[in-house]
């Protein structure tokens, strides 16, 4: 993967405001794992979230909790836990960054572990999660250990107990592995796997070698949503040794106040999703511009951009059944005016055309399936 020398003016992640760390007792100089938890108004979940890390069978770890200016009791809860367990490190941002990316960046800078795990403040680990992933990482000398599925508590239960029943969930496509598998290092194949959902871009159900992240200078970009997908695309492109495993180690809890679920109005959603489509595409293209492979293979350079645009269209599809064409056009033009200046009419037309063609393909696919269902069994 030959890299071109970086040029000036690239989009870089915005640094968070100076962080203030709470006093802690000394811990192991090099913990095996640093678990980074970005926090914002998470008082309902944070206690059990942190406890799921402290109760790991692998004990040589640290919990790096980065608070993004919570206004509830989140900091108080973690501070009290830190007084009882010196493996907890509490770091507080001076101003709210608006998303999980910058707290994660702070956590990476402050971390000391050989490996890094990202845990959302409303989720949990299974008790043996870190031991399982570290064992694989050591055996394969992996830069990344990639799990494919997560647990969902049934009936959207928040207070997980030993009696809680779980279902499994995944956004991965193409079938699951049955044993630890070292993935190809072929960049073309890696890009295709990412863009087809074979390597889905959740960051939290994986384990990363810290030195690898630092060497590649991988950081989360300043995006309003899906910054984890953009980050993981960079991981997929740069990790020399990526190992896929069948282990399920992450418990994903339903949180109605999460960023994606809080995008309840069309204005909020279009703002965040248009930001992702335009700024996310720019971030990814800036990244790819530094690599000879993408420069010489424009088709592969376009694939990730198409993936980001498709994510935007999937999320906004729901609005087309609830609002008139005129309402949507006005809102889209308003959002595009923040980026496109005098060229809003042209880009608004392209936006509408892309959506219309996508909708035609969806309808066509539906009609084909309906016709296939009517065919006699012997002709299928």
The answer to whether residue 289 scores a pLDDT higher than 70 is yes
Higher pLDDT, 5 or 296: 296
Which DSSP symbol is given to 264?
-
Q: CA 17 to CA 98: how far, in whole Å?
A: 12
Question: Which tens digits make up the pLDDT trace of 293-309?
Answer: 999 999 999 999 888 88
- Beta carbons of 159 and 44 less than 8 angstroms apart: no
pLDDT per residue over 318-365, tens digit each? 777 777 878 878 888 888 888 888 888 887 887 777 777 777 888 888
- What band does 10 get if pLDDT is binned at 50, 70 and 90? very low
**144: pLDDT strictly greater than 90:** yes
Q: In the prediction, which pLDDT does 256 show?
A: 60
Pick the CATH number of 19-255 from 3.90.550.10, 3.30.70.260, 3.40.140.10, 1.10.10.10: 3.90.550.10
Handedness of CA 318, 363, 354, 346 (dihedral sign): negative
Are the C-beta atoms of residues 205 and 145 closer than 8 Å to each other? no
Q: How many Å apart are CA 368 and CA 362, to the nearest integer?
A: 10
DSSP 57-101: S--SEEEEEEE---SSSHHHHHHHHHHH-TTEEEEEESS--SSSH
Looking at residue 132, its pLDDT comes to 98
DSSP string, 99-110: SSHHHHHHHHHH
Q: Are 19 and 46 in contact (CB under 8 A)?
A: no
Q: Is the pLDDT of residue 8 over 60?
A: no
Nearest-CA neighbor of 220 among 358, 79, 14, 37? Answer: 14
> What does the domain layout of the chain look like in residue ranges?
19-255, 261-374
């Amino acid at each position: 993967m030959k890299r071109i020398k970086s040029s000036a003016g690239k989009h870089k992640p915005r640094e968070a405001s100076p962080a203030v760390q709470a006093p802690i007792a000394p811990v192991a100089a090099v913990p095996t794992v640093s678990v980074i938890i970005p926090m914002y108004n998470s008082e309902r979940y944070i206690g059990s979230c942190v406890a799921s890390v402290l109760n790991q069978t692998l004990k040589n770890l640290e919990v790096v909790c980065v608070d993004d200016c919570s206004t509830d009791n989140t900091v108080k809860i973690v501070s009290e836990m830190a007084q009882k367990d010196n493996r907890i490190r509490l770091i507080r941002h001076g101003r709210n960054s608006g998303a999980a990316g910058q707290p994660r960046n702070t956590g990476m800078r402050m971390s000391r572990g050989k490996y890094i795990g990202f845990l959302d403040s409303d989720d949990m680990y299974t008790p043996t999660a870190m031991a399982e992933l570290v064992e694989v990482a050591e055996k394969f000398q992996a830069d990344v250990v990639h799990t494919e599925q997560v647990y969902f508590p049934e009936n959207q239960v928040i207070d997980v107990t030993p009696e809680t029943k779980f279902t499994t969930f995944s956004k991965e496509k193409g079938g699951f592995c049955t044993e630890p598998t070292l993935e190809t290092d072929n960049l073309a194949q890696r890009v295709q796997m990412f863009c087809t959902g074979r390597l889905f871009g959740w960051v939290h159900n994986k384990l990363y070698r810290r030195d690898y992240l630092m060497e590649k200078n991988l950081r989360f970009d300043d995006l309003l949503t899906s910054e984890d997908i953009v980050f993981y695309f960079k991981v997929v492109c740069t990790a020399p040794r990526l190992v896929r495993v069948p282990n399920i180690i992450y418990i994903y809890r339903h949180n109605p106040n999460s960023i994606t679920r809080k995008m309840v109005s069309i204005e909020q959603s279009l703002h965040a999703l248009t930001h992702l489509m335009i700024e996310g595409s720019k971030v990814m293209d800036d990244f790819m511009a530094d690599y000879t492979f993408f420069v010489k293979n424009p088709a592969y350079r376009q694939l990730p951009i198409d993936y980001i645009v498709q994510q935007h269209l999937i999320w906004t599809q729901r609005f087309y059944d609830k609002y008139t064409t005129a309402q949507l056009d006005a809102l889209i033009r308003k959002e595009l005016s923040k980026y496109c200046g005098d060229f809003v009419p042209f880009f608004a037309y392209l936006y509408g055309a892309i959506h219309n063609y996508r909708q035609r393909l969806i309808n066509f696919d539906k009609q084909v399936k309906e016709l296939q269902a009517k065919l006699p069994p012997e002709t299928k």
